[in-house]
Structure 1
Amino acid sequence: MTNYLKPAGKAVFKDSYVTKMNELLVDSDGQKRRYGLIGAPLSKPSISHSGAAFAPSAIRQAMGSYSTYSKEISHDFNENHVTDFGDVDMHPTDIVESQERIYHATKSVLEQEEAEQLIVLGGDHSVSFPSIKAHHEKYGTIGVIQFDAHHDLRNLEDGGPTNGTPFRRSIERGVLKGEHIVQIGIRDFTNAKGYDDYVNEQGVTVYTMEDVYENRISDLIEKSLKILENKVDLIYLSVDMDVLDQAYAPGCPAIGPGGMDSYTLMKAVEKAAQHDKVNAIDIVEIDPTIDFRNMTSRVAAHVIFSYWKGKVLG
């Protein structure tokens, strides 16, 4: 007699024709794969209250809501396994130490060369600095296309290395040049004039939400890639989910109106990923504790799929 018992959490419906995206994630086993994934569950440096430390797990779980088949490009990703290196162990109280751990973990994974490209799941936006630093040391000159409502170029004197400072730190530490940063989706009434002045002084390229609405996103991505492609060795995508309008991202700590819709963001990442120098991405600023029906983590999962889809098209 069959008792129908399965291990806890495994008693779920299984369609024999369907593979779910989270089934592609496999533990590190020494085998070389195209993609690797690292969780950077750090949110203590956030200026506002944030539970972004829970996001890596929430995004992985959200991946399980979707199949591996892309109808739009008639491609099944069911054999494209991704090495999941796990989550970086954060220090319970020391923020800088936690950021250093992210740097060392990312650097170690890059040096193993077990994965050709990394996907880093934050965490708040402070995790981008140690990740980009590790990529800089491995690959050389880095260019960044940053999807964000904010410049994240705050000074470090007022609050230290918060989630508002990753690109200021990168410039001041010689990890990035301002002219190698392109920001897309910067929103009105969200940044200070002093930081707009800093943007201009450092040569950062900025496309505001007005630019996004008045132009095709594919055209803005093409312009961004042309700015960077001949100046850098690798282009890194940094996706702050608060680039989205609050209607699409209720789980962002810094929600606001007038942002991007989710389809536009996904198509932007897909277009950027087609370029052969785009070889890394991070996704940050989701707080699952304030999300609604995991909406924001589901968009983040689709951003990952869009990245993979772009690489197939590229």
Structure 2
Amino acid sequence: MFIKPQCCWEESKGSGLHQWIKQKEKPHPSDVDVIVYGSLLSYTNDITKTAQYPNAFRRAWPNFQSYNLDEQINLRALSVVDIGDVAIHPTDKMLSHSAVEAAAENLCVTYPKSFTCLIGGDHWMTACSLRGIKNAHPQERIGIIQLDTHLDVHNSEEAGLGNKSPMHQLVEAGIVEGKHIYNLGLHGFFNSPEMIHYAREQGVHMITLKQMRRDGLQLTVREILRQLMYEVDRIYVSVDLDVLDNPFVPDVSAAAPGGLTAYELFDILKLIGENEGVRHLDFVCADSKDDELHQTTVKTGITAFLNWLTGIQLDNHQRIQKK
């Protein structure tokens, strides 16, 4: 189900990410707060290529420390385990999708108290992952916070099973209700009238970046989390890195002028981490047409991930203090 990642670090003492995040195939459930896993499936550019981001993500760990200077906390209090990459099929797209679905289901069943973070891969990974989570929890209602420039609600029968259609597939399959999807960060001229009409018909909440900045990003995110916590049993957050402005993610071809700043994304993910109802997170669509990802893209994604962990740690600290 999972294979050893290409980038592995030897166990050693220290506060670097490569020393703190443990790489284990089958950790004991009681020893894991957060599970990181990768999906190398990406048909964004070339069917013969695997996703670059999971390995680039791991290779950059030595550049980061576990201490968050802004919040004055050490993230080493969290047990974070990299369980490896989903074993995908080199050419069969459907088998690979099923593999990601089965992996997400297995993690939910085996590690019911752990948070999960999927590093992709293209945005179809979100649909695969959510199908697996729904298999593990068929009676639960799932909410989605989608940070994205695009709605991704193309008809999957017409657009295929790829970046443009994961939300359409999830809604049509009854895995998630449209009214439980909040799409944040929409901006510019990248969504057709047909997609907007479909999203409105399904009750998808479309919050533009202009609205978020006008009303206040933190206030907007807090209100969405409050509403979803009232309506659903668990929340899944999908971060399509094209939601960011071009300079922060130079490899992401779909990123456009006027997107979120990296600082805004960091603040949003810290807030999201502070809410224990958010059980799952993914980062998708970082692949480049070149052979190697730019370090700006990689480091932006890792810093976003660490801000999510910061929120989790802050929430843990607050709950301990209340006791």
| TM-score w.r.t. length of structure 2 | 0.87
| Separation of aligned partners in 2, 1:138 and 1:29 | 19
| Separation of aligned partners in 2, 1:224 and 1:49 | 36
| Separation of aligned partners in 2, 1:27 and 1:218 | 36
Letter in 2 for 1:306: N
Query: Offset at 1:311?
Result: 1.1
Q: Counterpart of 1:39?
A: 38
Asked whether the 8 Å contact 1:96–1:161 carries over to 2, the reply is no
Residue-by-residue CA offset, 1:133-183 (whole Å, 9 max, x unaligned): 122233421101010000011111223111111111100111100000001
- Unmatched 5+ stretches in structure 2: 1-7, 316-323
Q: Counterpart of 2:320?
A: none
Letter in 2 for 1:92: P
Q: Choose which of 23, 28, 45 in structure 1 pairs with 2:25.
A: 28
| Separation of aligned partners in 1, 2:46 and 2:149 | 17
Query: Offset at 1:52?
Result: 6.7
Alignment of 1:113-192 (within 5 A): 113=111, 116-139=114-137, 140-192=140-192
Letter in 2 for 1:294: Q
Matched, 1:286 2:286: yes
Q: Counterpart of 1:249?
A: 249
Q: After alignment, is 221-230 or 291-300 more displaced?
A: 291-300
Letter in 2 for 1:41: L
Asked whether the 8 Å contact 1:142–1:232 carries over to 2, the reply is yes
Partner SS for 1:282? strand
Q: Counterpart of 2:5?
A: none
Q: Give the CA RMSD over aligned residues.
A: 2.2
Q: Which has the higher helix share?
A: 2
Query: Offset at 1:229?
Result: 1.1
- Percent identity over paired residues: 26
Residue-by-residue CA offset, 1:185-232 (whole Å, 9 max, x unaligned): 112211110000011101111111211332321011012112311111
Distance 1:193 1:301, change over 3 A: same
Q: After alignment, is 186-195 or 84-93 more displaced?
A: 84-93
Asked whether the 8 Å contact 1:52–1:286 carries over to 2, the reply is no
- Unmatched 5+ stretches in structure 1: 1-8
Asked whether the 8 Å contact 2:159–2:165 carries over to 1, the reply is no
Q: Counterpart of 2:319?
A: none
| Separation of aligned partners in 1, 2:123 and 2:18 | 24
Partner SS for 2:156? coil
